[in-house]
Structures are given as C-alpha cells and as structure tokens.
Chains A and B, each alone.
Chain A
Amino acid sequence: MAIVYIPTPLRQATGGRSKLTASGRTVKELLDGLERIYPGIRQQLCDETGEVRSFINVFVNGTEIRQLEGLLTPVQDADEVSIIPAMAGGLDEDNGGMREPGSGIRVRPDVATDP
C-alpha cells in the first residue's frame, strides 16, 4: 500500500483525512482505487480525458509524475504519493487588475497596525 497525502482543498472528498493508504501498481490504478472509496475525487484531480488537471501536481517520492511516466508511473508499497494543487495567479490581460467594488482600484496608505 502506498501512502497518499491529500492537501486541504481535497479533504472534503476524504472526510477530512490528510493521509490515506491506497493500493495500485501505477498512479492511475491508485487514483482509481481512491475513486472507489471516495467517489468524486478523481473528477477534482483529472479532466474529461482522464489526464491529471494542469494545476494539479502529483508527486511520487518527491518527483512530479510528469517528469516520470505520468499516470503510468509505477507505485510500490510504502511509496509516498502527494497530491498538490498549484499556487498560482496573475494579472488580467485587459486592465492589469480587477476593480475593487465601489471605489475602483484602491491603494491603502498603510497596513493596519495594532499598537
């Protein structure tokens, strides 16, 4: 059984559990196994074609599976599989930022300080 680390945004699907054990010879089999126990989790991780969504990184023993064999990356007993949604963002192409409701873009002169 491999150990699977589930990040906070996906713990709703696992009843709050952050670490699971799952069996499978590949990452794909392991995700299939998780889906059987926690229906709906695969849809959060994979797109309609079955590929891992672009903003999701899956690590096997610390290496992202896109640098290995993707979903066919072999998984062995006691391997550590970590599922990590990306932390990303950026400016919009049109106006470079969203207008804050009401006041337009605002820049506050200072940070709130508690004396």
Chain B
Amino acid sequence: MLELSRDQAGALIKHAEEESPNECCGLLAGRNGRVERVYPGTNVDHSPYTYLMDPKEQLAAFKEMEAGGLDLVGIYHSHTHTAAYPSRTDVAKAFYPDALYVIVSLARRDAPDIRAFRVADGQIREESVIVR
C-alpha cells in the first residue's frame, strides 16, 4: 500500500506535467508505505521514453533519508502517453524489490492517474494507492 497526502499526490502530477513531454522521476521516502517526503529527481535521459534518475541526487537523497530514519518507500516516474502500468523495460530495470514502483500517467490529461506496483523477480503486483 502507498499512502500519499493530497499535496504529495498533487506534487507528483505537477512534476509529471512540468517535465512533459519527457518522463519525470523521483523518490518517495517515508515509513511503512506512508510517504513523508517527496524527492523530485532529474531525469538525466531527458527523454519522453526513458528515465534515469541523476545518481548524485539519488545518493544525496539516500543520505538524507538515512540520517532522518526514513526508508525508500517508492520510486516514481511518469508515462506521458500510456497507462500507469510498468513496461517490460521498467520491469527489467527494477533493481529495488523492496520499493514500490509508482507511475504517474498523463494519458488522460484531465484525469491523471497514480498507481503503485511491487516489481520483483520479473513479476508485477499492484498495490493500492491511498490519497488522504
């Protein structure tokens, strides 16, 4: 389960819209599936089709999370024209089986979608997203 505040969900969608047509990416830190901090990242691919979060930003975020006692709850990125469902490439490059892969879809601009998936050993399992 992924639990986001309305502001956090809004921040993810805003980030996706700002980066569009390129994919955005970032980290979600918190505890037990509940997000406490959003770390928007730089997609160093600057691409509408792929993302690679700036490894230096990743390192900085991890250090801050470690110091603050927060876990990596999720890794988010956007799909600007397709559904919020992991692609085969997303699955192949999912190196964090303990984190939720969160996808923000802008396929319907009037109704952006946020979904969360556990991706481990090539298997995709959807988890619920709660915004409160």
Contact = CB atoms under 8 A, between A and B. Distances in A.
A92 B77 CA distance: 15
B19 interface: no
Contacts of A62: 56, 59
A9 B82 contact: no
A88 B53 contact: yes
Given A84-B62, A89-B51, A90-B51, A105 B82 contact: yes
Instruction: Report whether over half of chain B's contact residues are helix, strand or loop; otherwise say mixed.
Output: mixed
A81 to B, nearest CB: 11
Contacts of B71: 8
Contacts of B90: 89-90, 98
Given A90-B51, A107-B113, A9 B95 contact: yes
Given A62-B56, A96-B82, A98-B85, A114 B131 contact: yes
A88 B51 contact: yes
A96 B89 CA distance: 10
Interface of B: 9, 23, 25, 27, 41, 45, 47, 49-53, 55-56, 58-59, 62-63, 66, 71-72, 75, 77, 79, 81-91, 93-99, 101, 105, 107-108, 111-115, 128-132
Interface of A: 5, 7-9, 18, 55, 57, 59, 62, 64, 82, 84-92, 96-98, 100, 105-114
